[in-house]
Structure 1
């Protein structure tokens, strides 16, 4: 269970880092640039801790899948990016894929 908390932390900090990456305007703004580096560093640290208990394929699928879907939502809500039917279908497929990978349960 603790490993999944680290994985959740990895996702949150990856989302923060990605949002700061957008705000950094190509690393031309110092504070968002620092936020990007810090966010990704903490995300990878948390991900590495989660991998002590969660198999790599499962952890990475959850991390990247949830991160991708939520990043798309943040782009739409915060950055006013447009959402198409293709975007929504893609997010649904990502979520379905993560669920399918976890149906069997984590194997060690």
Structure 2
């Protein structure tokens, strides 16, 4: 299924579509997390795959990297440690948690 994250973030169970391909990403962590889990529901018997398409070295991939960082922070504060998905775009040496701590110290 090819879809827009804003249109599928709530209210859908896409059990018949174990692969979701996003042509664009949203700018809201909640929206991306909700939309990407529409196929991953109770009763799903197939492996779920979520794909984000984008052109390399564009604002689109910059956005996806930033969303990956935001999602990693969001998940780590709730006890999940992400190691795939948009988090795989993060190739920087320092963790986002350290960068966040430094930013908070500057305030």
TM range (shorter): 0.3 to 0.5
Q: What is the TM-score when the length of structure 2 is the normalising length?
A: 0.33
More strand by share: 2
Point out which structure has higher relative CO (alpha carbons under 8 A, 6+ apart).
Answer: 1
Q: What is the TM-score when the length of structure 1 is the normalising length?
A: 0.33
More helix by share: 1
